[in-house]
Structures are given as structure tokens and as C-alpha cells.
Amino acid sequence: MGGQLQFIQLEVMVVALGLFVLLADLFLSESTRRSLGYIAAGALGLVFLLSFRGGYTDLADGEAFGGIYRLDGLALFFKRFFLLTAIFVLVFSVDFASRLRSGVSEYLAFILFALSGMMFVSSANDFSLLFVSIELITVTFYILVSFQRHRMHSLEAGVKYLILGAVSSAFLVYGIALVFGEAGSLKFDVIRDAHAGLLGSNVFLFGMLFVFAGLAFKIAAFPFQVWAPDVYQGAPTPTTTFLAVGSKAAGFVLLIRLFGSVVPELTEQWTGMLMVVAALTILYGNLCALPQRNLKRLLAYSGIANAGYLLMGIVAQSGDGTAAILYYLAGYLFTLVAAFMIINLVTRDGEDEDISYLAGLNKRSPFLAFTLALAAVSLAGIPPLAGFFGKFLLVKSVAAKAFGDAGYFALLAVAVFGVVVSIYYYFGIIRAIYWSKNAPVETPVTIAWPTRIVLGLCVAAILYLGLLPNKPINWANAAAKIEAVAR
């Protein structure tokens, strides 16, 4: 059993860290409590480094706990991804602490618990682990979203997420039940062998569709996207970041594992449905973002659109497609963290997150202005930034799947249309930063140095992923080599 525990050493460390934070809160004075977030972030950084340790990476491609926990390249990639996200979010939370009013340490701890859930999710090789870890994420997020109890928006967002999240969980669970009934097991390995014979069974299809709906909810894909704008807007901004990056990535790791590796034949059969979902998601997100003036809401809609682009990688059903998703998510992580952090800094003293707060930002802080513009350009998919290369890989993977098929062309056309529409509103952000008049606030923005480091890292990463993609692509390709995807 001890041998098995070392598979989950990172998760254990994270949970332990969470408990430590909760305990430390009791012994720390008000002033030092603020820096608890930095300590936790530093500790997570250590964990992140430990994930590269030979003793740990040697376990790769191993399974534990009767095969319900799998540590392969994909899992490893996502664990590191989530760790990085959480580090950034923790640093971010310290920035945000003053607006939380109470229970900062608990907030940090819940982030860590959600992180552990995400890390388990990336290794889930069984429906039971999938369910439990996903619920661990969701339930903690209910709390994280509604953490600003004094703000009506936060509470409202929490309730909406709670009810809709529970509905989606119910669908997920019901789907799992049906799949279990047909396949006779909750284990992915069993289902993988059995699923080809079950393609004719309506109960199985029903079940898988319910599972898909549960995951589509996580990534905010059409038609399960309605919650995202309200929740993103109402939640405390660090939560929003974590939700937009971490929770979405958790949905994708499961989609990749399930639809890429466990039931590839079914994915093939459902290509049409996936394409339609992807296309509608892109359209819905981008079109609704057009008239949007609240920045967090804008990024929520853009997040919906990005989920659509990412689904293209699932549609491609190839190692390349998976690698493209990973690449895109990595770029998305840095861009969104930067964007949300800056939005928070800029609207710190404001009522809401209206785009007009960006006016004059290039005078208030050229660094923030540049970083946010860079993030917007990257999200718009313009070279030489991370967002472009990710979209490039996604499009390439879809084109490679079937070039010349009208359906795929329609998807590509929608993607192009979506990108053009998105350029319009991202450009609006840049315009607001650089050449709009009547700035409501003109005082320079003060930035804490850890925030500065995080933003600097984001800029560097956005540029690195765009300019020198050679190594990252190799990493993504290696991580994407999971069973049955190599079709």
C-alpha cells in the first residue's frame, strides 16, 4: 500500500498544505496572515518542482489503487498545469484579500482543496474517482464563488453555480449509472474494451451523453454554458480565474481521457454532434461577447468561445488534436491569469468591472497596459503569441482529420468567423487602454512585487509559447500519447 501512496504524493502534499494553512491561521497575527498566501504559493512552487523529480516521474504510466488512478503523461501534464494555476491564483488571492473581508485563510485552503480535486481528476481512470474528485472541485467552488458574503453578486453567483452545478452533477451521476449498467464496470479499462460492442445500445449512449453533458457543463460548452457569465461576473476574481482556467481544464482532461482514449469509437460516431457543439459554442461565446462592457463577463463569454475552439481538438480525434488542446490550454492559463489580475488591479476601487476603467491605463501603468494588451492580442489569436500558435495547432489538427469535407469546412469557417468577431471585441479592449478619453481614475496603479513577478512570468510565457514553440510542442506531444488516441 505504501508503494501505492507514492503515486498520490503530490495530492497528499497539497491537502496537507491546505490543512496547514487552516491551522496556521489560528496562530498567526492579522498582519502576517496576509503573507500566508505567498507562503502557500511558495510551498506549491516546491510541489511543482517536486513533480519533476526523477523518483516521481519514474512512476509514469503506472496505475494504482486497482487501476482507478493512472499516472501517465497526460495526468502529469495536467497536474503541473493545475499546480501552476493554483500558484498564480494564490498570489492573486493575496492581492484580493482586502476585498474578501473575512476568512482569507479559509479561502486559500479551499483553493488548495479544489486543487487537490483537480489533480485527482487528471489521474482518474475510473468513474468513481472521476465523480468524487469532480465533486471535490465543484463543492469547494460553491464556497469559493460565494465567498464574498457581503456582496449580493457573489451570493447570487454562488447560488446559481450551486443549483446548476448540482443539476449537472445529477446528470453526470445518472449517466455513470447507466454506463455502469451496460458496461458492467466503472473502470475505464473495462469500458474501453467493451464499448465497441455497446455502440448500438441506447442505454449506453444515453449514459455517455449524460456524462458528456456533465463535462460540457464544466467547460461551459453550448448548450450548457448559461451559468458561466453570471458566475464569472459575481465570483471573487481569483475564483473566476481558477474557475475559468482550472475548472475548465479539469473538464478537458476528462473529455480527452474519456472521449479520446476510453470510447474512441463512440467519439467517431458522435463527430457530427461534437462539431455542432463546438461550432455553436464558438458562435455563442463570440457573438454574445460583442456588446459586452463588463470585463469579467466579457472574458466569460470569450471563455465559452475558447471552449469551442478547444473542442475542435476533441473533434480531431488524434494525438495532434490532443496536443493542440494542451498547448492551447497552457497559453490560455497565462493569458487569463494576466488578464484577470490586471482587471482586478484596475477596477480595485470601482463599483464593477466596466471597460471604461481601462481608459488611461497606459498612463497609470504602462506595464499593466502592455501586459493586458498582450493578453488580448494573444486571445485574439494573432501571432507571434501563444494564442495564435494554439489556434494554429487546433485548426491544423481538424484540417488534417478530413480536408475537403464540407462539414469540417463549416466548422473551420465558423472558427474563422469567430476569431474575426473576437478580434473586434479584443481590439475594443486595446482601444480602451490606449486611445480612449475621459479616464475615470488617473492615479498610478500600485502593484505588489509577487504580482509583478506573476505578470512578468505570464508575459514571458505568452511570448515563449508563441515564439519558441519547439520544446513545448514536444512536451504536449509526449503528454498527448495516451492509449487509443494514436489512431
Positions in 237-256 near other proteins (CB under 8 A): none
Instruction: Establish if 19 lies at the interface with other proteins (CB under 8 A).
Output: no
Nearer to other proteins, 53 or 150 (CB): 150
Positions in 175-214 near other proteins (CB under 8 A): 176-178, 180-181, 184-187, 202-203, 205-206, 209-210, 212-213
Instruction: Establish if 456 lies at the interface with other proteins (CB under 8 A).
Output: no
Range in contact with other proteins (rule: CB under 8 A) among 29-37, 170-178, 238-246, 338-346: 170-178
Instruction: Establish if 234 lies at the interface with other proteins (CB under 8 A).
Output: yes
Nearer to other proteins, 146 or 451 (CB): 146
Q: How far apart are CA 144 and CA 477, in angstroms?
A: 34
Pull the grid cell for residue 429: 479592449
CA angle 450, 109, 140 (to 5 degrees): 120
Nearer to other proteins, 176 or 310 (CB): 176
Q: Which of 62, 384, 407, 456 binds other proteins (CB under 8 A)?
A: 384
Nearer to other proteins, 59 or 399 (CB): 399
Instruction: Establish if 477 lies at the interface with other proteins (CB under 8 A).
Output: yes
Instruction: Establish if 410 lies at the interface with other proteins (CB under 8 A).
Output: no
Q: What is the DSSP letter of 402?
A: -
Instruction: Establish if 233 lies at the interface with other proteins (CB under 8 A).
Output: yes
Q: How far is the CB of 206 from other proteins (least distance, A)?
A: 7
Phi, psi of 351 (to 5 degrees): -75, -50
Alpha helical stretches, state H, 146-247: 152-183, 188-198, 202-219, 227-234, 237-242
Instruction: Establish if 460 lies at the interface with other proteins (CB under 8 A).
Output: no
Q: What is the DSSP letter of 357?
A: G
Instruction: Establish if 334 lies at the interface with other proteins (CB under 8 A).
Output: no
Range in contact with other proteins (rule: CB under 8 A) among 29-37, 92-100, 426-434, 453-461: 426-434
Q: Classify residue 477 as exposed, middle or buried by CB count within 10 Å of its CB (0-12, 13-18, 19+).
A: middle
Q: How far apart are CA 95 and CA 482, in angstroms?
A: 39
Positions in 282-301 near other proteins (CB under 8 A): 284, 286-292
Q: Which of 7, 88, 96, 131 binds other proteins (CB under 8 A)?
A: 131
Contact between 277 and 390 (Cβ < 8 Å): no
Pull the grid cell for residue 167: 443539476
Total of residues contacting other proteins (CB under 8 A): 99
Strand partners, 70: 63
Give the contact letters, 150-169, x = binds to other proteins (CB under 8 A), - = no.
--xx-xxxxxx-xxx-xxxx
Contact between 392 and 260 (Cβ < 8 Å): no
Place of cell 469557417: 413
Looking at this protein, which amino acid is placed at residue 223?
P
Range in contact with other proteins (rule: CB under 8 A) among 30-38, 92-100, 125-133, 306-314: 125-133
Give the SS3 label for residue 99: helix
